Structure 1
Amino acid sequence: MTLIEDIVLRKILDSRGNATVEVEVYTLNGYGRAAAPAGKSTGKHEVKAYPAGGIDAGIKYFKERMDNLIGMDSTQQEDVDAILHEIDGTENFSMLGGNVATAVSLAIAKAAANSLGLPFYQYLGGAFARSIPKPVGNVLGGGKHAVGGTTIQEMLAVSLGESAKDNVFANAEVHKIVGKKLRERFPNISLGLGDEKAWIAPMDDIEAIELVVESVKEASESTGVNIKPALDFAASSFFHNGKYHYRSRALTPEEQIDFVEDIVKDYGVYIIEDPFDEEDFESFAELTRRIGHLAYIVGDDIFVTNVERIKIGISKGAANTVLIKPNQIGTLTDTVKAIKFAKENGYATMISHRSGETCDTTIVHIGVAFGVEFIKTGAIGGERIAKLNEMIRIEEEIKGE
């Protein structure tokens, strides 16, 4: 009933118009499908998205070896993922490609759930998987996601209401208000959207933060939902020669700590992601010491969903929240280990989309299954709302509505 009978791989488009991989898995009476996203702002410690020959080489490499998985029990996830590691034979999926491995791993798990007639979140988390993560939506930004925008990569809204539906619509309202304010401020220029459908405008970082804070306040008042501002610096992307390079100045690590601390205190920023270079555990630790009681300090590039990297952070007191991206590590088993390890050590978790996305909704189910506190998945845009709308559906199912 749950034995793997066939695995089908294909190339599909992601939200940037680039190729990515989609996998379908068939059991005797079950079916699972999953697709891998692609990041542009990536950590150097992530697994390799694809081997040297690209996506085609990764698919070819897997197809030549997929008989190792045919006939296995799809419910034995750790065994399945161990075989994927064996098929690849490297520590960073450089032969198979982390994206191929991720899509295969997730599709097999979804086929197992379907074979047993269970929603995927319930298959993973059991009968008590009932907590919907709070959505974190990108509303204004720049960095690698948007040429011509701010140096800070993402300025986001975090809606903290009791209802997933209210939170999803509240984040969208912030996005609308930001757009309205930008059109008023820049009436004679065309405003665009970045990779994650956040607004782009030629603004200074502080000016942009202030606009988002104002928009969050207005949306909170109009919707009745408690909404907070958040920032993803993606600081590794503008850290060069020992300094963080903004448009008009360059800051030392010590000055960057002071700058970020002031932003949190002055503007009530609720979540701060990647404010330092991906190797700078010490600055993460110092910032956490200073303002960890005021804000969630999130490590993405510094942790890359890798338990060994998270261990280093915990030993140093660096950050208090781990960003979770399945394709950073390559398998569902490794993803779950990272979530559980973070939680066991008192860290919060936030599961995340990538800038190059598909309409796959798997991260929502993983977030619900393991009680992840936040889900970062945009505020608008087809590939983003696929996940947001799935949150609404799951909430209705859990509540029996």
Structure 2
Amino acid sequence: MTVIENVIGRVAVLKGGKYSVEVDVITSSGFGRFAAPIDENPSLYIAEAHRAVSEVDEIIGPELIGFDASEQELIDSYLWEIDGTEDFSHIGANTALAVSIAVAKAAASVKRMPLYSYIGGTFTTELPVPILEIANGEDFDYYVMVRDLMEITDVVDAATKVLENAEGSTVEALSKATEKAGDELGLEVALGLVQKRPMETEEVLSIVEDNNIAYIKPIGDEELFLELIAGTHEVFVDGEHLFREKDILDRRYYNALSIKPINLGTLTDLYNLVNDAKSERITPILAEALYESSDEALAHLAVGLRCPAMVLRKDSIAKLNELIRIAEDLGERGRIITFEG
């Protein structure tokens, strides 16, 4: 049975020593658990985490008992109704996300289905390309991407080779290291950049054009994004900054969008944004928040929602291993999504 019998909240510890809320959703024959991550400027210290647990135990949980866990959209819309604001400022987006994904996990467990298959359906066979963090600098965080990925582990081998070959932590040094790694492994290895401070448009363009860059998440105004789209070829220009700051979802400005579930609130909201991006011919990329638990759900969300890529931090072993397990589970049916700019 998928009828919810109990909802339990508790304090969870995330990477970096931050606190969040973990939620259990229990049915007579199913169980789901999820600890919500926290993004930039986390406010959920221990006192706030306990407040979130109280919200789950005293308000949200009693309201959801008797709901059918398979009615995901209905439950998610009810979470918005319980909150009563336009941005989950009452119960918190992290609390809503913890409940929402725990509900989906519980419904999937009743059906004895992996979460990715429950979300995506019978014909879910596509695996995302991992974009893996390798280093952090003053101007950029650096990532490795393998365009012609054959196995999930190829990106791990590529990241290891890049770090072995790198003669410093600059764009130029890491770019050369990706080319050497590609030659040694017989793969198309490239560099990804996440901009950390505003820079002149010409400087950003020059960096992308003069180096082996396949992915960049810039910070700047619309002009920068337009110049990058016009002046680069087969480079993924990630529009998260424009989307977050100005609510712009437009292929003219960028061709990829990293999406952090914690910034949305529920699984239904995540599903809708992924589909909105696809309708604009923008590549949706599932991304980790700054502070995460070891929960493996992000890999299932990326596969179930057919996101062509997922951005992982260098210590995201649990999520990377889960992606490998999903690939094994799919077997010959599984294929890695072609990730083209």
1:138-195 CA-to-partner distances (Å, cap 9, x unmatched) read: 11114xxxxxxx222x1110123443333342244146426x745xxxxxxxxxxxxx
1:88 corresponds to which of 83, 90, 107: 83
Q: Which of 247, 265, 270 lines up with 2:214 in the alignment?
A: 270
| Residues in 2 aligned to 1:287 and 1:77: alpha-carbon distance in whole angstroms | 39
TM-score by length of structure 1 reads: 0.77
Residue 389 (str. 1) matches residue 324 (str. 2): no
TM superposition shift of 1:362: 1.2
- The answer on 1:140 being equivalent to 2:138 is no
Q: Pick closer, same or farther for the CA change 1:104–1:132 going to 2, 3 Å.
A: same
**d(CA) in 1 for partners of 2:271, 2:151:** 23
SS at match of 1:7: strand
Q: Which runs of 5+ in 1 are unaligned?
A: 43-47, 143-149, 183-202, 239-243, 245-250
Match of 2:9, as an amino acid?
L
Cα distance, 1:303 vs. partner?
2.1
What is the deviation of 1:218?
Answer: 2.6
Using the alignment, how far apart are the partners of 2:104 and 2:52 within structure 1? 20
- The aligned counterpart of 2:204 is 260
**Deviation at 1:92?**
1.2
Corresponding residue number in structure 2 for 1:340: 275
Identity, in percent, stands at: 31
Task: Say whether the 8 Å CA contact 2:162–2:180 is kept in structure 1.
Answer: no
> Do the aligned residues in 1 keep the contact of 2:9 with 2:56 (CA within 8 Å)?
no
Q: Which residue is 1:185 aligned to?
A: none
* Matched-pair contact (CA < 8 Å) for 1:229–1:270: yes
Contact kept, 8 Å, 1:322 with 1:347, in 2: the verdict is: yes
Following superposition, the deviation at residue 49 of structure 1 comes to 6.8
SS at match of 2:126: coil
User: Does residue 231 of structure 2 align to residue 290 of structure 1?
Assistant: yes
2:337 matched to which residue of 1?
none
The match for 1:107 is 102
* 2:179 partner SS: helix
Which one of the candidate residues 169, 176, 182 is aligned to 2:156?
A: 169
CA-CA distance at 1:222 after TM superposition? 2.7
CA distance in 1 between counterparts of 2:164 and 2:291 reads: 25
Match of 1:398 in 2: 330
What TM-score comes out, normalization by structure 2 length? 0.90
Residue 195 of structure 1 is matched in structure 2 by none
Segments of 5+ residues of structure 2 without an aligned counterpart are 334-341
Matched to 1:64, the amino acid is E
Partner of residue 15, structure 2: 15
Equivalent position SS for 1:38:
coil
CA contact (8 A) 2:216 2:238 kept: yes
Divergent runs of 4+, >4 A: 48-51
Hey, what does 1:223 align to over in structure 2?
185
User: Would you say 1:32 and 2:32 are equivalent positions?
Assistant: yes
Does the aligned pair in 2 maintain the 1:364–1:387 contact within 8 Å? yes
* Residue 125, structure 1, aligned to residue 120, structure 2: yes
| 1:35-78: CA deviation from partner (whole Å, max 9, x where unpaired) | 111223x6xxxxx9769x72222222232212111111111111
Give the count of matched residue pairs. Answer: 332
Q: Which moved more, 1:214-223 or 1:317-326?
A: 214-223
Structure 1 contact 11–22 (Cα < 8 Å) conserved:
yes
- Which residue identity is paired with 2:185? T
How large is the RMSD of aligned CA atoms in angstroms?
Answer: 2.4
- Is this contact kept in 1: 2:286–2:311, CA < 8 A? yes
